[in-house]
């Protein structure tokens, strides 16, 4: 959520090219770092699952941690991006409607609808 808040501070029109890809790479990096710490802290459980069910048990335990970490870090970013996109679209529609009204057209005319 903190990371998403940092992105919110920079308006879309002021973002340098490629910065979104950099943010994604940083997000993946800190997610993998967090998952690594969680696997390390839970290593006795992973090892026990590996002993009980073979390599598959330990691998599945690590997979559960990885998926959980990506869901936990990705959901705030997904929600934030949806909110930003909706805000941009809403403002764009309001501007189009205002321009249409200034020209004497209706909102539907400004949107190209008859």
Return per-residue pLDDT of the chain as tens, 114 residues: 777 777 777 777 777 888 878 888 888 898 999 999 999 998 888 888 888 888 888 888 889 999 999 998 888 878 877 887 777 788 778 888 888 777 775 555 555 655
> Angle, to 10 degrees, between the axis of helix 19-41 and the axis of helix 55-102?
150
pTM score? 0.60
Which residue, 97, 90, 101, is CA-closest to 111? 97
User: How is residue 10 annotated by DSSP?
Assistant: S
CB atoms within 10 A of CB 49: 20
Length of the chain in residues, anyone? Answer: 114
Task: Please give the distance of CA 43 from its chain centroid, rounded to a whole number.
Answer: 28
Sign of CA dihedral 50, 56, 57, 61: positive
């Amino acid at each position: 959520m903190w990371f998403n808040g940092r992105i919110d501070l920079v308006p879309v029109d002021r973002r340098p090219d490629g910065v979104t890809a950099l943010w994604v790479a940083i997000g993946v990096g800190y997610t993998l770092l967090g998952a690594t710490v969680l696997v390390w802290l839970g290593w006795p459980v992973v090892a026990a699952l590996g002993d009980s069910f073979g390599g598959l048990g330990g691998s599945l335990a690590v997979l559960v941690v990885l998926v959980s970490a990506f869901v936990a870090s990705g959901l705030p970013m997904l929600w934030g991006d949806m909110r930003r996109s909706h805000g941009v679209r809403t403002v764009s529609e309001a501007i189009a409607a205002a321009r249409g009204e200034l020209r004497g057209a209706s909102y539907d005319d400004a949107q190209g609808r008859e």
